[in-house]
A = this chain, B = another copy of it.
C-alpha cells in the first residue's frame, strides 16, 4: 500500500466536502447582502496590520466584522478588536488553513443581514489555504516587499486562486532593495491581468485606492443583485 496515494484520495474527499459547505456559505452571504473578503499570505506579510487599518477606515461608512484564523493564540483577534468592530478568532490547532466548516461555525449568533462586509484572515501560509474555498466573494493575496520578488513563481497556486494582489509594507521598499518591476512582472506571469495595489498599513499609502476599488465592487454587486430582482 502506498500511503501518499491514499492521502491524496482522502484529501480529495475532504476538499469535496469543503466545497459543498463553501457553496452553501456563498449562498447565505449573497442572500444576506454581505460582501466577504478573505486574506491569504505567508506569516508576517501584514494581514492583521492591513485589516486593522482598513476596518478602522470602513466602520464609519459600513457595518463590518472580521474572523481571524491562527494555529494558536488569539493575538490577532485582540489586535483587530482595537478597530472596534465585531471580531472572532478561529484557533485551528495543527491545521494549516481555514476550512468552510470552521467559518460556518464562527458565524454562530451573528446576523449576516446586519453586515456590509465580513473579512476573513486566513492562517499565514502560502500553500494550504489555496485549496479551500471559504465562500468568499473576493480573495486577496498579500506579498510584502521584505519577502522576495519571486514568491508568485514559487507559490503559483495561491496567486492563481486570488482575485487581487496587495504588495504590502511599501514603506520598506528602499530599505530592502525591493525590485518592484520584477515583483509586478512575476505576479502577472502567474496570473495575467490580476489587479495589484501597493500599500503600507504603517504610512497609509495606497489604502484609499484599494478602498475605492472595494467600494466599487460592493456597488456593482448590489446593482447586479437589483438587476436579478433580488
Partner of A3 from B13, B128, B151, B155 at Cβ < 8 Å: B13
Q: Is A125 an interface residue (CB 8 A)?
A: yes
Q: Complex: how many Å from CA A128 to CA B124?
A: 12
A11 to chain B, nearest CB (A): 7
Q: Is A156 an interface residue (CB 8 A)?
A: yes
Q: Complex: how many Å from CA A176 to CA B173?
A: 12
Q: Complex: how many Å from CA A157 to CA B72?
A: 10
A59 to chain B, nearest CB (A): 24
| Interface hits, A148-169 → B, CB 8 Å | 148, 150-151, 153-157, 169
Q: Which residues of B contact A14 (CB under 8 A)?
A: 3-4, 7
Check B44 against A146 for contact (C-beta < 8 Å): yes
| Interface hits, A7-62 → B, CB 8 Å | 7, 10-11, 13-14, 17, 42-45
Check B3 against A44 for contact (C-beta < 8 Å): no
Check B43 against A126 for contact (C-beta < 8 Å): yes
Of chain B, the residue at the smallest CB distance from A123 is B127
A142 to chain B, nearest CB (A): 11
If A43-B42, A43-B154 touch, does A128 touch B126 (CB 8 Å cutoff)? Answer: no
Q: Is A71 an interface residue (CB 8 A)?
A: yes
Q: Is A175 an interface residue (CB 8 A)?
A: yes
Check B151 against A44 for contact (C-beta < 8 Å): yes
Q: Which residues of B contact A169 (CB under 8 A)?
A: 146
Q: Which residues of B contact A70 (CB under 8 A)?
A: 154
A6 to chain B, nearest CB (A): 5
Q: Is A179 an interface residue (CB 8 A)?
A: no
Q: Complex: how many Å from CA A176 to CA B45?
A: 12
Q: Which residues of B contact A124 (CB under 8 A)?
A: 42, 126, 154
User: Footprint of B on A, CB under 8 Å?
Assistant: 3-4, 6-7, 10-11, 13-14, 17, 42-45, 70-73, 75, 94, 96, 123-128, 131, 144, 146-148, 150-151, 153-157, 169, 172, 175-176
14 A–B contact pairs at CB < 8 A? A3-B14, A7-B10, A43-B126, A43-B147, A43-B151, A43-B154, A44-B146, A71-B155, A124-B154, A125-B125, A128-B128, A146-B169, A172-B172, A175-B175
